[in-house]
Structure 1
Amino acid sequence: MAKETKPLQEKLTQWALAHLDSIFAVLRVIKPTVVFKGNAVVTRFEDVVEVLNRDWVFRVPYAEKMNKVTDGSNFFLGMENTDQYTRDVSNMRIAARREDIADIIKPFVDQTSTSIVKSAGGRMDVVQQLTRVVPTRLIGEYFGTPGWNETEFANAATIMFQYLFYPDDPAVEEKALRAAEQTRNYLDQAIATRKATPINKDDVLSRCLKLQEAGMPGMSDVDIRNNLIGLIIGAIPTTSKCAAVTLNHLFNNSELMVVAQQAARADEDDKLIQFVQESLRLNPFAAGIQRVCAEDYVIAKGTLRSTKIPKGARVLAATQSAMMDGRKIKKPREFQLDRPAYSYMHFGFGLHTCFGQYINLTQIPGIIKAVLKRSNLRRIGDMKVEEPFPVSLEIEYDN
């Protein structure tokens, strides 16, 4: 009987994942917050914001896994609002500066993406040759950590991301912890080598070591390594997936593709950002953001939809649902380029808003722009996905 039940559960799960938009649409009307067996799903826009903005109630659940990835420590994504969290985020804001986007990141992404597309000879696998490669090379150029092998480095970041942010899977954990050990060893050696033989390069690693030399708290070799490993995990697979998904959405909508190509050829970067934002709203990176409720809490208190979430419940703040909530998002099923910034939850809200959101909103449009500028652009077959990430999107174009 147990053997029969498991395939049935798997089929139901697959069906639900394939129909999440419809399920969320029903829940937003009849039961905006559902609590069941120690879990809660929050679906309306205002309520999702409430969860993500109350970090003292709805806490991040990643510390245990981050401890394994870092071999006994943490990364600020897995921390609560503590002194260490503030220290580590502040340190990395000094090392990875917003002004670097215009001075370093955008020129590198534009040049690298254009070079790859031009050299591909009119046919390429966008995922394998571009969307994974550009962020990996940016990590090498900007962070100062190119990895031991470009492909293996990207694979390591991807499997660690899957381990940290997706449901538990023993096979994934085994691969991720092996990748984490290899990444730690590489970063330890990179830090030691840079200290032993300094180079005249203004990258994130050099800045971290200068802060260490100046006596900045939280900048030991291990601290630097842990912060770098966390940023690397968040930088490569997310960028690759978002760029591939955006391009695939445009291929699925020929009229949008025409407008997007016009914007790319005119270097209208702000418009391309909106193409990315809207494509990801309609094809979200994930169903939502996980939290754990630290105390009994009533969501949407004082309204007819108010619901008690018990202490210890695992909460999904369903950003996918929130971005389709017609109470806050005008005509949510339409693709519109003039939506206000609050319409998008790709980077979260509150304390744990994505550290690299401005880098992402530069890098993803830069990658797709290099593709969109090509003439006679066409897709060869459907995008291939090995959940949760795209693995192939083959295209042709006139070079």
Structure 2
Amino acid sequence: MSTYLKVPLDKYKCGQGRSAPPFPQFTKPEPIGFMSINGDAREYGNDAGHLGYFWRIPEPPLDLSAGIDQVHRKAVDPEYFDIHMFCKFIQNHRELLHPTESGALKLDADFVTFRGILRLIMCLPYDNKELCLRATQLNGTIYLSKLETDADREDRAKMTQHHLNMCSWGYKFEQYCLSAEPNVEPTTSVPVNENDEFNCFFRTKLGGLRVIFGAEMDGIKSDKSVDLNDPKVLANLKFVELKTTSVNMTPKQLRTFDRYKSLNWWAQSFLVGIESIFAGLRDNNGIVHNIREFIVSDLPRNKYWSPASMMLFLQHVLQELKMLMDIINDPYAVVQLDYKPGYSGIKYTIIRRSDEPQRTPNGHNELNKVHRFIPDSYRNLLNGTPLSATATNLTNSD
């Protein structure tokens, strides 16, 4: 049975004509680590592979369709891919774990998730998009992952070749702007592999909640090579965000930008402390005619959305979820969060290990799949199981 979280959406729809609440307490995000995701197989890398250096603003025109017939398009990740990547990161950085009196290990965090999930929750009062998340709690930390929705699958199935190309244009724009080394002109003649990522992990507090989240980062501003294994260097990185958008917006496109795209841009950048976004202004053929710098703090001006209400909604959703998980107090229970257009808020369903297994048409045990949310080897690690039981490197397991 599904029940609503006590966080009604309408309460947070502030903007033009409605006063916004005070901005909640939010500490500056602190980078604490990094990883790479590599190649078509989307494999974990315990390094800064694919870290890009912002070269300079390239001179238009730029052809975003150049080499598009050779592009390696981004794969559809399996369920819980994001959380499994985080578990691999912790497996390789056990200094982030702390022992308890019982001998178990725990993270200094109430929540573990990814920026994209935080952004989706923040934008929900205005975006009104279908959403499905799953959460489980282990040793006091809640792990929050996104699942593909029916709407996501339908959108993917209806993608035309032109839509696929438009998705690839953003990656090509990054290739025009970023280099593997500082002060070196980017290499734009090689095929773009959309599966390659550089991710950074951040620690922050929102309304007293301790949150660690990962985020795929486009690049950094630096005129010299950086050693991210130096905590001081990592803490002082200047990240850059790169986007593409229409060069001459129709009135409808402008409304869409003001109501939806701008709030997603703001949320994505604000969460990691990015101050400016460089956007390639392109036509419908993928030719960039101009590049504009958007100041992140200016994006909310005269808009239909409120940054304070978005952050407050996120805080209240996480607080309600934490209270629920603390009451459940079951390290094998999974809470599914669902939102669909027309709902007055986010619904939750509790799935327990003791529930009757539900078999899918192909005979697989769906309930067991739900409870593979956290890999067994990671669970054993945090529960203090002897190392011999977790000898298999998580990079090559689960």
TM bin (shorter chain)? under 0.3
* Structure with the higher strand share, 1 or 2: 2
The TM-score, its normalising length taken from structure 1, stands at 0.24
* Structure with the higher helix share, 1 or 2: 1
The TM-score, its normalising length taken from structure 2, stands at 0.24
